[in-house]
Structure 1
Amino acid sequence: MGNSVAYPVHRTTDPAEAYAKARLLCGLLARRYEEVRVGAELSTVEDVRRMVALLPDAVYEHTDMRTHPETGETLYFGADVRTATDAELAAELPLDFTYTELPAAVAEEEFVRAVGTGPASIGWEGCWPDEPELGSYASPKYDGVQLILNSDECEWSRQVSGVHTVYVHVTKFGDPGRAERLAAAIGGSVLGEPERGC
């Protein structure tokens, strides 16, 4: 979604409800691209095991940069998450990953259920319909919907377990009128200040 402007339009403690609202918004896109982007921060061995069962080929990395205590060289996560022992994984936590295209064999609902208490994201890109009478036009590079699990900010750098937020992304300049109309279409309203999209 590039560096769009993102508006929070729904927040709940129920991840299934948040997912359902996000999918309703996806249905309002004039065109939706096939790619579904996902990512998550995994803070427990159980989180890693659930995600690896869904996405064994994703690239898993340390959440924070690590350096060798003596040489200062960057340390990269090199274990095979599919075969690592629980003890090996526990020593490497937290891990994260981003996946630019959720495989067709993996249902989005499965991803939502697999997320633990760490922040996670599902992003759908596309184009909102042109509304020339309201001065709103599609912005194919920036339009879309994003579900953030366990965080109340678009870039999901702050973990808030049990809080799930739905965002609409609209242009790189913002369009508060469109955001309000989209929020109203799912029975809500814009919940705060616009944020920088990721």
Structure 2
Amino acid sequence: MSNDIAYPVFCTPDPALALSTARRLVEFGRTEFCEVRAYAELPSVTEVRRVAKGLPQAWFRGWEKPGEFDAVPSDEQPALIFGVQGSALPADPAAYEGLLPVERELDDLPVGSIEDTFITLIGPNAGELNWDSLSWPDAPELDFFGESKHAEVTLLLNTRTRDFDEPAADHTVLVHVRSIDVDGRQLQEPYAHWLAQQVGLTVTGPGQR
């Protein structure tokens, strides 16, 4: 089993510019099989309803404490625990009590189908766009072979980390490569630098797991 590591290559307060920059990387590694995932964390009922109005087909799932509903029969658990499409969200604000933030997610979509709408709707909320099933080419001058399994691009919105634990007023593009750690040194980091350079970017910080 292998893992990826993602390096920041661009940061800007302009979400449209961040998206266009991420797309340059996506196009560099694009295949006929690549897909995009959109994810956001929504901290209030107002934000959930606003985003659901623009994306009624998206799935919304409430936050729960680990084990909170283990002893509750499934037919008695809140619908938001299992996930509800935007068009079927509860109307009563009380239904969201103890379940915020609500996660909003769309998976396995065609590239180009959701990205512009998503960055328009994200507002101040933390979220990400992730493109996977890309294919990075060989870099023979660096003795690196191409990468498919961990060839991804991520656009972090209003956060600096993949864990969403560092809120920000800007947006960061990450390029993913395979993680190969030897004595604390990432052997694939030069490959990430090379990939960024192919589209006029540069690695700007340490890798994120």
Shorter-chain TM range is 0.7 to 0.9
Q: Which moved more, 1:113-122 or 1:55-64?
A: 55-64
Distance in 2 separating the partners of 1:104 and 1:180: 24
Q: What stretches of structure 2 of length at least 5 have no aligned partner?
A: 181-185
2:193 maps to which of 155, 180, 183: 180
Letter of the aligned partner of 1:17 in structure 2? Answer: L
Cα distance in 1 for partners of 2:5, 2:44 equals 32
Task: Report SS of the residue matched to 1:102.
Answer: strand
Q: Residue in 1 aligned with 2:165?
A: 158
Name the counterpart of 1:192: 205
Q: Quick check: 1:118 aligned with 2:125?
A: yes
2:147 equivalent to 1:145: no
CA drift of 1:27 comes to 1.6
Partner SS for 2:28: coil
Counting aligned pairs with the same residue, the percent is: 31
8 Å CA contact 2:36, 2:111 repeated in 1: no
Equivalent in the alignment of 2:87: 82
| Correspondence for 2:6 | 6
Equivalent residue, structure 2, for 1:97: 104
**Considering only CA atoms, is the larger Rg found in Structure 1 or Structure 2?**
2
CA contact (8 A) 2:36 2:109 kept: yes
Aligned residues: 192
Aligned to 2:175, the other structure's residue is in SS state strand
Is the contact made by 1:118 and 1:161 (CA closer than 8 Å) also made in structure 2?
A: no
Aligned CA RMSD, in angstroms, stands at 2.9
Counterpart in the other structure of 2:183: none
TM-score with structure 1 length normalisation? 0.81
Within 2, Cα distance between the matches of 1:47 and 1:138?
41
* Cα deviation 1:21-74 (Å, max 9, x = unaligned): 100111211636332111110112343224323443433222342626xx9659
**Aligned counterparts, 1:33-72, within 5 A:** 33-65=33-65, 67=68
The AA in structure 2 aligned to 1:101 is D
For the structure 1 residues 106 and 99, does the alpha-carbon distance in structure 2 shift closer, same or farther, using more than 3 Å as the test?
same
For structure 1, the 5+ residue unaligned runs are none
